[in-house]
Amino acid sequence: PKTAVLSAEAVGNPTLRDQRIAAIRTGGRMAWQVSSGYNQRSRGETQMGRWKMVIGPKLKARSFPNQKTEARIGTYILNKMTELGRAKFEVVA
């Protein structure tokens, strides 16, 4: 949170949390998100949430080859949904 406070040992032995708070204070939250890969992780979590909402929390097929097919179909569906929701940009010459 914005009001995060460094721990008492931050000067001599900073924890990972202290390091992240310091990075946010020096470079800003957006720079920290880019440098830490936070945005990619967030996108992955969002996509998995979509998978569970649309496809379901578990595979329905019993055999492994059928599970692979089911996963491929689910991936195709989610990629198509993502593509349809993405803005299209045109280069004006």
pLDDT tens digits, one per residue of 58-82 = 999 999 999 999 999 999 998 898 8
Give me the residue spans of the domains in the chain.
1-37, 40-85
Q: How far is CA 47 from the centre of its chain?
A: 8
Q: In terms of C-beta density within 10 A (0-12 exposed, 13-18 middle, 19 or more buried), how is residue 87 classed?
A: exposed
The pTM for the full model equals 0.53
pLDDT tens sequence across 13-58: 899 888 889 889 999 988 988 888 888 888 888 888 988 988 888 9
Residue 35 CA to residue 16 CA, distance in Å, equals 15
Chain centroid to CA 61: 27
